[in-house]
């Protein structure tokens, strides 16, 4: 698998990152073990998790595999802090105390002394940005994080963080796909100007660009379940269907798959370092790994952008 530098830093990342949002929920330990083993065998290095995923159980599941399924040194582990959920409601707390407590808890669950990349998961309007950044700074200086980043910050928030940090912020993690091109208006220019790499999550439009929801909601899919029906349903409108059909038409004409075309488009965009994919089982991961996201012909890219813009 191709490796890229993240922004202007020396951090190298595989172009696909293995997301763990479904771990300890839709993905059990046996499936997660198979996913991790297969991903690493294919040359993948980045595994993305968060303290908020399954209330820390996703991190714990990953930690239980380090050393047995894969050596810690083979992975670039990224995690996030600053967000949690209780009673179905998201709670944001990016204060210095909360961030550092979450970092120590993440390290304990993972059974490692450091994270390769640690993100503040969300902008917290109730906490001074300088305070949040001080937690990232301490994580770097104490060796508990090798690199740090920001997640779900918009353009001006990213520019401000990079300008006042006083230490390198190497990445911004944001949703980006042919079904969500909002980063292009403000975020991508800010990220490029600051020398950050973009970590694109949901590059397949939360699974919709794969085509699995064309005319139906399959049993067992995320949209069919209670927990993530709203997460996927955001992209099941008529306008989104037109984009999905355009992707499939392009894929058919090129002799490629819809997964291939969708990932190729995202990975060709400015500043994108890696795309976070979240297969729930080995079959889905194999489809992703079989995709060879070589650059799309320019005219195809323009046509997809015309439809999705």
Residues 79-111 have pLDDT tens digits of 999 998 766 678 999 999 999 999 999 999 999
Q: Return the C-alpha torsion angle 160, 186, 152, 3, nearest 10.
A: -100
pTM of the predicted model, to two decimals?
0.94
In a domain? residue 147: yes
Q: Which domain holds residue 37?
A: 3-205+263-294
pLDDT of residue 220: 62
Identify whether 142 is part of a domain: yes
282 in a structural domain: yes
Q: Flag whether 304 is in a domain.
A: no
* The pLDDT of residue 235: 83
**Is position 184 within any domain?**
yes
Residue 226 pLDDT exceeds 80: no
pLDDT, position 89:
76
Per residue in 184-215, pLDDT (tens digit) is 999 999 999 999 999 999 999 999 999 888 76
**Model confidence band, residue 151 (pLDDT cutoffs 50, 70, 90):** very high
Q: How far is 21 from 2, CA to CA, in rounded Å?
A: 23
| Rounded (10°) CA dihedral 267, 268, 271, 275 | -10
Q: Concatenate the DSSP letters of all residues of 185-233 into one string.
A: TTHHHHHHHHTPEEEEE-TTTTTGGGTTTTTS--TTSGGGSTTTHHHHH
244 inside domain: no
pLDDT mean over 57-66: 98
Which has more pLDDT, 216 or 257? Answer: 257
| Domain annotation covers residue 274 | yes
Q: In the prediction, which pLDDT does 238 show?
A: 74
On the question of pLDDT at 223 being above 60, the answer is no
How many structural domains does the chain have? Answer: 1
Average pLDDT over the chain, rounded to whole? 93
pLDDT band at 234 (very low <50, low <70, confident <90, very high): confident
Catalytic residues: 53
Q: What percent of the chain has pLDDT over 90?
A: 86
Residue 237 belongs to a domain: no
Region 153-173 average pLDDT = 98
**Which CATH number fits the domain that encloses residue 157?**
3.20.20.100
Among candidates 135, 141, 62, which has minimal Cα distance to 103? 135
pLDDT at 237: 82
């Amino acid at each position: 698998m191709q490796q890229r530098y993240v922004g202007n830093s020396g951090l190298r990342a595989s172009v696909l990152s293995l997301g763990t949002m479904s771990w300890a929920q839709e993905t059990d330990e046996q499936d997660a073990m198979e996913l991790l083993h297969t991903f690493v065998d294919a040359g993948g290095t980045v595994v993305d998790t968060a303290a908020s995923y399954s209330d820390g159980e996703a991190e714990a599941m990953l930690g239980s595999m380090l050393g047995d399924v894969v050596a810690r040194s083979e992975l670039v582990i990224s995690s996030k802090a600053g967000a949690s959920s209780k009673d179905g409601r998201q709670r944001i707390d990016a204060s210095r105390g909360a961030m550092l407590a979450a970092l120590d808890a993440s390290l304990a669950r993972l059974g490692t002394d450091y994270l390769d990349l640690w993100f503040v998961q969300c902008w917290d309007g109730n906490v001074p940005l300088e305070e949040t950044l001080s937690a990232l700074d301490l994580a770097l200086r104490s060796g508990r994080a090798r690199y740090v980043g920001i997640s779900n910050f918009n353009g001006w928030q990213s520019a401000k963080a990079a300008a006042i940090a006083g230490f390198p912020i190497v990445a911004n993690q944001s949703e980006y796909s042919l079904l969500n091109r909002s980063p292009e208006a403000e975020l991508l220019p800010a990220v490029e100007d600051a020398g950050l790499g973009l970590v694109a999550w949901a590059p397949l439009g939360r699974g919709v660009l794969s085509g699995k929801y064309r005319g139906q909601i399959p049993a067992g899919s995320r949209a069919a379940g209670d927990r993530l029906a709203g997460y996927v349903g955001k992209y099941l409108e008529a306008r989104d269907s037109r984009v999905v059909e355009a992707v499939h038409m392009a894929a058919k004409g090129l002799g490629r798959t819809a997964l291939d075309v969708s990932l190729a488009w995202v990975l060709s965009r400015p500043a994108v370092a890696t795309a976070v994919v979240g297969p729930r089982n080995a079959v889905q991961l194999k489809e992703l790994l079989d995709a060879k996201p070589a650059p799309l012909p320019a005219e195809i890219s323009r046509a997809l952008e015309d439809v999705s813009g």
